[in-house]
Amino acid sequence: MAGMIFDPGNMSLADLETIYRDRNLTMSLSRRTRDKIEAVARTIADAAAADTPIYGVNTGFGKLASVKISPADTATLQRNLILSHCCGVGAPTPPPIVALMMALKLVSLGRGASGVRWELIELLEAMLARGVIPVVPLQGSVGASGDLAPLAHLAAVMIGEGGAFLRGDGEDKTMPAIVALQKAGLKTLAFGPKEGLALINGTQFSTAQALAALFDARRLARNALITGALSTDAAMGSAAPFRHEIHDLRGQPGQIAAARILRALMAGSEIRESHREGDERVQDPYCLRCQPQVMGACLDLLDNVAAVLEREANAVTDNPLVFDDGTIVSCGNFHAEPVAFAADQIAIAVAEIGAIAQRRIAMLVDPAMNFGLPPFLTPEPGLNSGFMIAEVTSAALMSENKHLAAPCSVDSTPTSANQEDHVSMAAHGAVRLHRMTANLAVIVAIEWLCAAQAVELRAPLKTSAALTRAVEALRAEIPALGADRHMAADLDGAAALVKADAPFSAVGPDLFDGGDVS
């Protein structure tokens, strides 16, 4: 199994995406962090035995912070905290996202400001290495005072409570946590002072969900540039709006990159050359002409989000925190407002990428707009309906994404007897993104199917070499549409290829080099 050793606070987005996508990866903290972690754990142990009240160390939680807890009850306090907070509901979080969530918790605890013992670090590392992945329900967090319920379900496995997946036993199969630990050769841990609190305070659930959606959105964005270029050529659109001088005059980096990529994708197309002179059309519709402006804005937005989430992934977000001088201070780093804003911005970008792609699909199937192609891209329209309802499906998914793109971060509701009276709603803001990226994958897949069919109908003229490779990658799995057939399998198959990055892999990364779109 591949291994990654990291210094907390220095995880890159590439590192985090590797953790998300590589199920066989193991990871561990640099052992240089051990001395600091153990020193801070001793500070917390001393505070637990002292008379001075320290929130969550020798007191109750939330509105019960004024209740003093005796040193003899420290372990019971932390165990009860985890059990009482395991109130998540709904479907389980996919294991790759839980693994990323565990890694983010390791990063945060590894900064040495949380007061956990080295033994806890080692158990988290071992669970990741041996594939013990907690069952974490998707619903129950409001994104303040940390992702309490989801993180409690993660922490519960460490004390032998709750459920877990075990790599090798099937990702859809769960078992009691204690059984998963035993099968993996691991033992439970009795939490010391503050350790339960350190595990459940934090933004790791929201951040992992948002990061996973970001990684998928960026992948879909680059594939949408490919299908967009293919649609432009299929519709005999002009590449003139992609000239670099246009975009240099505006200066937006994403727009410049998108235009450059579109130019590179279409270079050498016989279809393009066939109508360069004498074309009766003066301008293309916006869904073709304004691709650099729309896609570029989305790329820039995703880049901004990436910077926020990279910082959050490396952050310490529990409460209270222990400073180098031994001071223990209650704070609010667990409030996930930055993640909530980031999730809403991802939602906007995903919705817009799908919106402009859907308009290209609609244009390609419309004989009034597609410049000589048959209605609905079928050789025998009337007897066959071709891509008529595939376009309707793309419209349905586009509309659903627009509804889902409404901001979650502007919502708040008081919780915990008004102690936690403003919350971020980052968790459901991030969780909803996966439905949106799944929808977008299908929209991009439908455009790929339509554009490939349309390009083939332009024969004997050929598209560019790069776009030909994109068509060939599709045709290796899904044949061209002749007579009508059961279409759902085609849509599902094409969407699976898009999710697997097949168009980008076929075209090759060289055409994307120099543009921050990966």
Q: State the catalytic residues.
A: 55
- CA 52 to CA 330: how far, in whole Å? 14
Mapped onto helix, strand or coil, the DSSP state of residue 99 is helix
By DSSP bridging, strand 3-6 and strand 89-92 are unpaired
Instruction: Give the residue carrying structure tokens 């016989």.
Output: 270
Roughly what angle, to the nearest 10 degrees, separates helices 74-85 and 148-158?
120
Distance, C-alpha 329 to centroid of its chain: 32
Q: What is the DSSP letter of 509?
A: G
Name the residue among 77, 104, 62, 328 with its Cα closest to residue 195: 77
Roughly what angle, to the nearest 10 degrees, separates helices 118-129 and 34-49?
130
Roughly what angle, to the nearest 10 degrees, separates helices 337-365 and 291-313?
150
Mapped onto helix, strand or coil, the DSSP state of residue 132 is strand
- CA 289 to CA 294: how far, in whole Å? 10
Instruction: Give the residue carrying structure tokens 């991030």.
Output: 430
Name the residue among 188, 148, 227 with its Cα closest to residue 443: 227
Peptide bond into 503 cis (omega under 30): no
Q: How many CA atoms lie within 13 A of 371 on its CB side?
A: 23
- CA 304 to CA 219: how far, in whole Å? 16
Longest Cα pair distance anywhere in the chain, in angstroms? 88
- CA 301 to CA 253: how far, in whole Å? 11
- CA 408 to CA 342: how far, in whole Å? 11
Instruction: Give the residue carrying structure tokens 């000239």.
Output: 243
Peptide bond into 320 cis (omega under 30): yes
